[in-house]
Amino acid sequence: MAGTLHGSKASGSRAIGILKDLVSRPSGMIGLSLVVCHVILAIISPFIVPFDYKLQNSALMLSQPSSIHWLGADHLGRDVFSRTLMGGREALLVTGVATPLAVIWGGFIGILFGLVGGRLDEVLMRVVDAFLSLPWILKMLVLIVTFGTGIEVLIPTLAFFYGIPVIRIARAATHDVIARDFVWAAKARGHGRISIIWRELLPNVLDTLMVEGAMRWSWMLLAFSSLSFLGFGVSPPTPDWGLMISDARGFMSFAPWGVIGPVIALSSLIIGINLTADALAKALGIDRAQKAPM
């Protein structure tokens, strides 16, 4: 019990130290602030939006920004500012669940096959290479068109396809660790593979997986918004930044305010995540250039 408490305190102290190091860097402070602001807005937006995001008013169609409608109205007379505030909820929900799922399953498979090695490991990597050689949008569209566009389909689809590159990263990190003395000692003591993964390998590749998860989150947000833009994400009238950009693109020449809000919102969130990922990598001493997938 005492060992467990000591381990928990050590983990907590390390997490606090990493957080302090992260926010001490300008990029980390800016990035984390942007991400936290978006998360808070996604939580409280239903209570602070000035108008119902579904409310249509034909008299306001494509009206310009004003003191009442700060970002104007869209082609259906809906308040763009309200829809922009609400637009990040679905994206953060879907990617916030899919990202850890992708890191968990991809990380476990990568560590396991990196430990096993041999012909099975080589076969797995050829399968991974085959998946990575195909455009991601085509792979996901096949499943989405087959099974539907609901959240219950989008989450596992994104988690599956974005977990595949994690396999390569986890496998490479495992190969860096597996030749060390403490792994050989664990094997000599007769520890099983799951025990070696949990006790010896995972603690030593966790930092890499954390940074990889942050990177995957930003790419997954882009993928989710791209799917919504193409009409395969959330369904109207649910507000979503990608869907809003798609709806407003035909009116950009004379009513660009319908695009400006969601573009700024999506860009600021992705920039925030990338800045946070860079600062986290530096705080953990990880070279993102070396850990990038081939």
Predicted pLDDT at 78: 94
Strand partners, 79: 73
Whether the link from the prior residue into 256 is cis, omega within 30° of 0, is no
Domains belonging to the chain, first-starting first, are 18-291 (1.10.3720.10)
Contact criterion met (CB below 8 Å) for 205 and 170? yes
Q: What is the pLDDT along the chain (294 residues), one digit of tens a residue?
A: 444 444 456 666 777 888 888 888 999 999 999 999 999 999 999 999 999 999 899 889 999 999 999 999 999 999 999 999 999 999 999 999 999 999 999 999 999 988 888 888 888 888 888 888 888 778 788 888 788 778 888 999 999 999 999 999 999 899 888 878 787 787 778 777 788 888 888 888 988 999 999 999 999 999 999 999 988 888 888 899 999 999 998 888 888 889 999 999 999 999 999 999 999 998 888 865 554 443
Question: The pTM is what?
Answer: 0.88
Predicted pLDDT at 287: 64
Q: How many residues does the chain have?
A: 294
Alpha-carbon distance of 275 to 283, in angstroms, equals 12
Alpha-carbon distance of 229 to 246, in angstroms, equals 5
Predicted pLDDT at 288: 56
Contact criterion met (CB below 8 Å) for 156 and 140? no
95 contact partners, CB below 8 Å, separation of at least 6: 158, 217, 220, 221, 224
Residue 267 burial class via C-beta count within 10 angstroms: exposed 0-12, middle 13-18, buried 19 and up: exposed
